[in-house]
């Protein structure tokens, strides 16, 4: 069950199958979340902007407006809402596309409710420790930790909430090897490591590298074969 708090986390379920939608809302409500439902893409788009949910559980196949289109618009507008895709489209290609579009997590149908609840709880928890100051930097990358804004050489870099959490964790471990086990435990908050999470981590690292490193001559993010990753100060 969700940890008690004065205000329950707001979750928007976007699902057009009546039976599945009712089951999801009922289960989330019984576990202490404030769950609302959208049955079409247009309704989801309206509720995301009017109620600003903490998390969206998003089906991909929807009337009026598809789930990937909704997800892309959330990220283009830099909304802080976390998004968990819950869909029957569960091939490797589907998962990679969903994560590349900006999903924070991806779960295929059929699924178990305990796993869904665990993933939701993981996404809603703070994924990084409280910052010690309002800013941090490495090389020409500057982070405003209060506003969660990243820039490099003065150029703003748009990161999803998951990408930001991942980069901040790497920054806090600068010049140190960071394993997939560490990322699984400390960023994704998974209690046990299982094979699919490796693919998720690799996709997120690729996306992060594309934004942080690719447009700039000096590379900061490096893969350590057989070990993990490292955010490394450039050599003088």
Whole-prediction pTM? 0.58
- Dihedral sign computed on CA atoms, order 27, 30, 34, 36: positive
CA–CA distance, 204 with 175 (Å, rounded to integer): 20
pLDDT of the residue at 236: 65
Query: 3-state DSSP call for residue 116?
Result: helix
Instruction: Write phi, then psi, for 86 (nearest 5 degrees).
Output: -125, 105
CB under 8 A, 24+ apart: contacts of 66-72: 66/41, 67/14, 67/41, 68/97, 68/98, 68/101, 69/41, 70/14, 70/41, 70/44, 70/45, 71/98, 71/101, 71/102, 71/103, 72/101, 72/102
pLDDT of the residue at 117: 92
Domains of the chain in sequence order: 10-124 (3.40.50.2300), 135-231 (1.10.10.10)
With contact defined as beta carbons under 8 Å apart, do 28 and 11 qualify?
yes
CA–CA distance, 193 with 180 (Å, rounded to integer): 9
pLDDT of the residue at 124: 87
With contact defined as beta carbons under 8 Å apart, do 158 and 215 qualify?
no
pLDDT of the residue at 153: 95
Kindly give the confidence (pLDDT) of every residue in the chain, 236 residues in length, as a single tens digit, with 9 standing for 90 and above: 454 444 688 999 999 999 999 999 999 999 999 999 999 988 998 888 878 899 999 999 888 888 999 999 888 877 888 999 999 998 888 889 999 999 999 999 988 999 999 999 888 875 344 444 678 899 999 999 888 899 999 999 999 998 999 999 999 888 888 888 888 878 887 655 554 678 889 999 999 999 999 999 999 999 998 888 999 988 76
pLDDT of the residue at 143: 93
CA of residue 29 relative to chain centroid, distance = 22
Instruction: Tell me the residue length of the chain.
Output: 236
pLDDT of the residue at 29: 93
With contact defined as beta carbons under 8 Å apart, do 69 and 45 qualify?
no
């Amino acid at each position: 069950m969700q940890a008690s708090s004065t205000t329950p986390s707001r979750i928007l379920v976007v699902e057009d199958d009546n039976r599945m939608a009712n089951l999801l809302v009922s289960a989330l409500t019984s576990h202490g979340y404030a769950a609302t439902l959208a049955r079409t893409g247009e309704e989801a788009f309206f509720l995301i902007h009017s109620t600003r949910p903490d998390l969206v559980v998003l089906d991909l196949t929807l009337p009026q407006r598809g789930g990937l289109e909704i997800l892309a618009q959330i990220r283009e507008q830099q909304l802080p809402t976390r998004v968990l895709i819950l869909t029957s489209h569960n091939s490797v290609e589907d998962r990679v596309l969903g994560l590349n579009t900006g999903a924070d997590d991806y779960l295929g149908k059929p699924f178990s409710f305990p796993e869904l609840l665990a993933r939701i709880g993981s996404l809603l928890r703070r994924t990084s420790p409280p910052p010690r100051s309002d800013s941090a930097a490495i090389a020409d990358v500057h982070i405003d930790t209060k506003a969660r804004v990243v820039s490099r050489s003065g150029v703003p870099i748009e990161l999803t909430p998951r990408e930001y959490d991942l980069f901040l964790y790497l920054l806090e471990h600068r010049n140190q090897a960071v394993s997939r086990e560490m990322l699984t435990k400390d960023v994704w908050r998974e209690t046990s490591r299982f094979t699919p999470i490796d693919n998720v981590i690799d996709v997120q690292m690729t996306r992060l590298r594309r934004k942080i490193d690719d447009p700039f001559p000096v590379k900061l993010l490096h893969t350590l074969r057989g070990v993990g990753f490292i955010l490394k100060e450039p050599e003088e």
